[in-house]
Chain A
Amino acid sequence: MTTGSELSPVSVVNASSPARRRRRRGGVERARARAGWFLLAPAFLHSIVFIAIPAVTVVVLSFTDTKVIGGGSWIGLSNYTELLDDPLFKKAVGHTVLYTIAVVPVAMAIAILVAIGLNQNIRGRALFRTLFYIPVVTSTVAVASVWLWIYNPSSGLGNEVLSFLGLSRSGWLTDPDSALPALMAIGIWQGLGAKMVLYLAALSNVSPELVEAARLDGANRWQVFWNVTWPALAPAHFFVLVTSIASSFQVFDLVFVTTNGGPANATNVLAFDIFLNAFQRLDTGYAAAETVVMLLIVGAFVYIGRLTQRDRKEV
């Protein structure tokens, strides 16, 4: 696909202006840089005060034995070495990584397909778009109730579908082996709407002129999609990828209302484990260390995700 996009007419868009910019006078450059700082500063300062400082505090706390009421003392890496021996933590990491690997690509693929379908000029487009967006705003308890009914081992829709297909029945959320996959299905379902919106917004950005040009050059629909639309979606892909990874690692509400981490820890994910340590066991320092490790893992995922985008500039 790399070579395809290089040959395509789309490279006109991506070969944007750095070269040209450099040719401009220094004064204009300075004015632009000033404007850049001016526009960036408010959001940056805001993020320093309200997110970065709290986040740094969390990192500092992870080296202390602070219980919920302050006054912890510096214990170096003890929390981290303890984490290495914590079977619960290891399980939670495993489940979260598995959840992310399963949910993110599938949800992204479905979201792209749905967005492309709903970007066509079809009848009832607004209605369909709304239907696909509705899970985003439906209350979590209602979502949980319906899915718990679907997953009800004795009378749920899920088992009826399985027996219709001639498959053996499942315990779904009550079976340690199937609970996490069952949760993944809800996760994919729930995250679809937001991803679809992002792709719809990104598709609005694809130049119809380029599409038309490719058509005139004799490209079929598939070639148009692959050579024009797909490369134009690259920045959106990267955004959706990063936020999907982040939200997979932060999945909490879903677990809280459906399984509470069970059965037997089968759905204990990192955010849930952190919640238990911070708010149930009141072990602030330990929960902070867990968070730091989690951020490192998320960072690794995002980095790998970025590598897959290497062939494109400026994503």
Chain B
Amino acid sequence: MSGRALAAVLATLAAVTTTLTGCSADRGDSDTLRVLLANFPANNQGQAVYDDIVDIFHESYPDVKVEADFVPYDNLNAKIATSLAAGTTYDVISAGVGWIQPLAGLGAIGSLEDDGFSTEQLEETVYPSFIPPMLQDGELYGVPIVANPRVLAYSRSAFEAAGLDPDSPPRDFDELVADAQALTEHDADGNITQAGFDFWAKPSGYRQQFVAFLGAAGGTLFDDTEPRFDGPEGERALSTMRDLIADGSSQYGYQNTAQTALVTAGQAGMGFASPYVDCSEGEGGIGADKCDDLVYFSLEDEQSAMFTGGRIAAMGAQSELPDAAAAFIRAMQDPATQEAISVMDVGVPVDKAAADSDFVRGNPASTYAVDHLDSAIMEYGGTNFLEFRSAGGWALDEALLGQTSPEDALSALADLSRTRT
């Protein structure tokens, strides 16, 4: 019995201390900069990139120690959420572009405007479409480091084999659907041997592809925090995607074993692809012949659009070392860092000045991506974006699989993105 009483006392004590101190933030040494690097691999490559950033940082703050927390991709959300919930403060947070507005809305990151960053200055160095996702209530809360565009590619030889003109990519959604149909090849049993169009998506993973189609249809995802994707543009985008699946040009949720882009692997006539392609003949390369066979293009209907994600850097709201944090963010913006992270993230530098670098020009995919960053479409939408991100996968599925009409699916998704907050 005494055991139980003791336990009860202990439980109460612990519960009280936990609640009382739940909001306080833990701080290490005051001259240690704590950095959260999301989607940073803990291998030697990631470590080397990180060491270089720290070296640049130490040029201006030689006495400030940097403590980095590397977080792998799959567990990013869990780590960020737990850190936030536990009140762990970071001086610098580097994560995906969609995180800025939610983190700013939750008060986890602070405005950069007092620390020598400004929107005007940023506008001079990066493409215009990268600015709005960095802003919350008109103030700058983060800076872009690397862009992760999803380009589209088609195979010249597949186009020829299908009787299409290999010099003219589809210029609107109707052409896209028709070309995809022509490119689709089956074997005797009706199995698809070459997909006409590859979304490069897992089941329930069509959200970013929808954003790309929406952009091409001339639509907007969010206006500030208000969903705008449920208009006629969204409907056209989603019904085009559904048609590609319904007519068999694209197999819903199908990926190859390595989960690489089917068009790059020679398993689809056209489709989404990564902004980096290894043209070497050796290990991991697809070879020069295959590389020459691939032509890059953008989704086009009302306008040309290229879906683009990206990595940002932001400052923790409770940072006690704002100057040092700002210096670290600048070290991440450094051209050399941008390039090193681009290699790691399979992306391209956001700096306009990097457009002519050997790194970009040395690769046909990244060359195309950088040349079209002015048509970049990004996904963001304040804190409501979290709702869109969480529900987007399945809500779009319902239309893609023909369970509901695109119109109904989108208005349901818009409702969720509006009210569940």
Interface residues of A (CB under 8 A from B): 37, 40-41, 44-45, 48-49, 52-53, 56-57, 67-71, 88, 145, 148-149, 152-155, 163, 171, 173-174, 176, 179, 256, 259-265, 268, 275-284
The reply to whether A154 and B7 form a contact with Cβ atoms under 8 Å apart is: no
Q: Are A259 and B204 in contact (CB under 8 A)?
A: yes
B18 within 8 A of A: yes
A14–B389 Cα distance when bound, in Å, is: 56
* Contact residues in B for A281 (Cβ distance below 8 Å): 386-387, 390, 420
When the two chains form their complex, are residues B254 and A153 in contact, meaning their CB atoms are under 8 A apart? yes
Q: How far is the CB of B175 from chain A (nearest CB, A)?
A: 26
CB distance from B266 to the nearest CB of A (A): 15
Query: In the assembled complex, how far is the CB of residue A5 from the closest CB belonging to chain B, in whole angstroms?
Result: 36
Question: 15 A-B contacts, Cβ less than 8 Å apart?
Answer: A41-B3, A69-B84, A69-B85, A70-B22, A70-B85, A153-B254, A174-B254, A176-B401, A176-B403, A260-B205, A261-B393, A263-B252, A264-B397, A279-B77, A281-B390
Tell me the bound Cα distance from A275 to B400 in angstroms.
24
B204 near A260: Cβ-Cβ < 8 Å? yes
Contact status A278-B81, CB under 8 Å: yes
**4 closest Cβ pairs, A-B complex:** A262-B204, A264-B397, A262-B203, A280-B390
Beta-carbon contact of A71 and B420 below 8 Å: no
Instruction: Write out the residue numbers on chain A whose beta carbons fall within 8 Å of the beta carbon of B403.
Output: 176, 264
In contact, A282 and B203 (Cβ under 8 angstroms): no
Asked if A284 and B85 sit within 8 Å, CB to CB, the answer is: yes
The answer, among A37, A45, A49, A260, for a CB contact under 8 Å with B203, is A260
Q: Provide the bound-state CA to CA distance between A278 and B84, in Å.
A: 12
The answer to whether A262 and B15 touch (CB under 8 A), given A41-B3, A152-B254, A154-B192, is no
> Given the interface contacts A154-B254, A176-B403, does A49 sit within 8 Å of B10 by beta carbon?
yes
Given contacts A49-B10, A176-B401, could you give 17 more A-B pairs where the C-beta distance is less than 8 Å? A37-B3, A45-B10, A56-B15, A57-B15, A70-B87, A145-B257, A154-B192, A173-B253, A174-B203, A260-B204, A262-B393, A263-B252, A277-B390, A282-B102, A282-B106, A282-B386, A283-B420
CB distance from A160 to the nearest CB of B (A): 10
B117 contacts chain A at the CB level, 8 A cutoff? no
For B393, the chain A residues whose CB sits under 8 A away are 260-262
Known contacts A68-B84, A260-B204; is-contact A265 B257 (Cβ 8 Å): no
Which A residues lie within 8 Å of B420 (CB)?
281, 283
**Which A-chain residue is minimally distant from B204 (CB atoms)?**
A262
By the criterion CB–CB under 8 Å, are A262 and B254 in contact? no
Q: Are A265 and B84 in contact (CB under 8 A)?
A: no
How many residues on chain B are close to A (CB under 8 Å)?
A: 46
Q: Which residues of A contact B305 (CB under 8 A)?
A: none
**What's the Cα separation between A154 and B391 when bound, in Å?**
28
B14 contacts partner chain A, Cβ-Cβ < 8 Å: yes
Residues of B within 8 A of A (CB): 3, 7, 10-11, 14-15, 18, 22-23, 74, 77-78, 81, 84-85, 87, 102, 106-108, 189, 191-192, 202-205, 251-255, 257, 386-387, 389-391, 393-394, 397-398, 400-401, 403, 420
Interface contact B18-A57, CB-CB below 8 Å: yes
Q: Which residues of A contact B400 (CB under 8 A)?
A: 264
> Given A56-B15, A262-B397 in contact, is the A69-B204 Cβ separation under 8 Å?
no
Bound Cα distance from A53 to B234, whole angstroms: 47
Determine whether the beta carbon of B81 is less than 8 Å from that of A276. Answer: no
> Assuming the A-B contacts A261-B394, A262-B253, are A155 and B15 also in contact, with contact meaning beta carbons closer than 8 angstroms in the complex?
no
Establish whether residues A260 and B254, one from each chain, have CB atoms under 8 Å apart when the complex forms.
no
Of chain A, the residue at the smallest CB distance from B193 is A154
Given contacts A69-B85, A176-B403, A259-B204, contact A53 B108 (CB under 8 A): no
| Contact residues in A for B252 (Cβ distance below 8 Å) | 171, 174, 263
What residues of chain B lie closer than 8 Å to A149, measured between beta carbons? 257
A173 near B3 (CB under 8 angstroms)? no
Residue of A nearest to B76 (CB): A279
Find chain B residues with CB under 8 A from A153 CB. Answer: 251, 254
**Complex alpha-carbon distance, A133 and B14, angstroms:** 40
Q: Contact at A263–B203, with CB atoms within 8 Å?
A: yes
CA distance A261 to B253 in the complex (A): 12
In the complex, the answer to whether B102 meets A262 with C-beta atoms within 8 Å is no
Complex contact A262–B394 (CB within 8 A)? yes
Residues from chain B with Cβ under 8 Å of A68 in the complex: 81, 84-85, 106
Q: Which of B15, B87, B251 contacts A174 (CB 8 A)?
A: B251
B386 A148 Cβ-Cβ under 8 A: no
A256 to B107, CA, bound (A): 29
Is A173 within 8 A of B203, CB to CB? Answer: yes
In the complex, which of the residues A52, A56, A264 contacts B394, with contact meaning CB atoms closer than 8 Å? A264
Residues on A with C-beta less than 8 A from B189 are 163
CB pair B401 A154 closer than 8 Å: no
Measured between alpha carbons, how far is A276 from B108 in the docked complex, in Å? Answer: 20
Tell me if B10 and A264 are in contact (CB < 8 A): no
For the complex, give the distance between the alpha carbons of A278 and B7 in Å.
Answer: 29
Q: Assess A280 versus B389: contact at CB under 8 Å? Given A56-B11, A260-B204, A263-B397.
A: yes
Closest residue on chain B to residue A171 by CB atoms: B252
